[in-house]
Amino acid sequence: MDRDIARIIDANFNRAREAARVLEDYARFVLNDPAGTAVVKQFRHDLAGCLGRLPANTLLIARDTPGDVGTSISTATERQRTDLDAVLIAAAKRLPEALRTIEEYAKTFDPDLAAAVESLRYRSYDLEQRLRLRGKRAGRFSGVRMYVLITESLCHGDWFTTAEQAIAGGAGCLQLREKALEDDELLKRARLLAELCRRNDVLFIVNDRPDIAFLSEADGVHLGQTDLPVAEARRIVGPGCLIGLSTHTPEQLYAAIEQQPDYIAVGPMFPSSTKPQEHVPGPELLKAAVARTAIPLVCIGGIKQANLSILIEAGVRCAAVCSAVIGCADVRAETTRLASVFDLSG
């Protein structure tokens, strides 16, 4: 490798690693987004793998910081960042720039390395999109403890009042789950709940229907095993929308992890009258999920105050409930009781 090229490659690998670290720290400490943090961490690992393709110490030997004429050249804007978002944007733009430089100069001595870095460059665009457009929603979701499903037929009282009471009781996310409604009525209700949730700083998810989620400006869509794949749903809802995916077996769980949804629902944890299934994987599936991924997990199925502590001990931080809350005469009080189990568990 030409020494001048080695200096360029060295400088830009350093630049790319630094930018990726800034992105990871933003995802971790600003957004509190565990899935986003894990994605950036994997990116850094793969970037290190590209660097490892080069002969040991080749770049280090070529480095000449005192002789680098660029170290004394800077602009006023390089020394200023108006806020945390500006820090994110600067790092997100710097990363693909550095990768493009590595890619171009690597073509002169290692086309395979150039191809690997090109792949990373495309992934860096996705990183920026993910962190900037849905990172804050993802961070908010990681803080949700009570996730309440709203289905009119299971409500003790009026469905909209039930939703209001669930929020008042501490629900951090509502899902509209109506399998039988006509599309026009489903969209109407989705828009009502979306507005209610926005007013109360609560996340709103639509079950099954990416189109309704998009049109109602929901925070996300929840997919089942027979619904669209995550990547296809993403084309409908856009990059700023959260996507959740249900899993019921270890095989479905591992396949879901590969699809990289924003959260994964795991269950049923216990026999459920709302969504009965012949196979109840229970807390063991939850334990497997906790050990396997940093993607936020939502346990679902037959969850009540009496058994929630079992799931918390298994590592869950969010529980999805339906009839256990919305079928009660006092929805607000029951939501608060369930939420208190998380509080008591620290």
CA dist 163 and 193 (Å) reads 8
74 plus 200 within the same structural domain = no
Find out whether 163 and 151 touch, Cβ atoms under 8 Å: no
% of residues, the chain, pLDDT over 70: 97
130 plus 212 within the same structural domain = no
CA dist 330 and 55 (Å) reads 68
Looking at 134, 167, 198, which one is the last position of a domain?
A: 134
pLDDT tens figures, 8-31: 999 999 999 999 999 999 999 999
Domain that holds residue 44: 3-134
CA dist 265 and 311 (Å) reads 13
Cα–Cα–Cα angle for 124, 130, 132, rounded to 5 degrees:
100
Mean pLDDT of the chain: 94
Provide the whole-model pTM: 0.91
Q: Which helix (H) or strand (E) holds 233?
A: helix 230-237
In this structure, what CATH number is given to the domain that contains residue 66?
A: 1.20.1260
291 plus 245 within the same structural domain = yes
CA dist 126 and 42 (Å) reads 13
Q: Dihedrals φ, ψ of 104, to 5°?
A: -65, -45
219 plus 75 within the same structural domain = no
Q: Can you give the pLDDT of all 346 residues of the chain as single tens digits?
A: 899 999 999 999 999 999 999 999 999 999 999 999 999 999 999 999 999 999 878 888 888 888 777 777 677 677 789 999 999 999 999 999 999 999 999 999 999 999 999 999 999 999 999 999 999 999 999 999 999 999 999 999 999 999 999 999 999 999 999 999 999 999 999 999 999 999 999 999 999 999 999 999 999 999 999 999 999 999 999 999 999 999 999 999 999 999 999 999 999 999 876 666 677 889 999 999 999 999 999 999 999 999 999 999 999 999 999 999 999 999 999 999 999 999 876 5
pLDDT tens figures, 91-137: 999 999 999 999 999 999 999 999 999 999 999 999 999 999 999 99
| Token output for 321 | 């409930």
201 plus 127 within the same structural domain = no
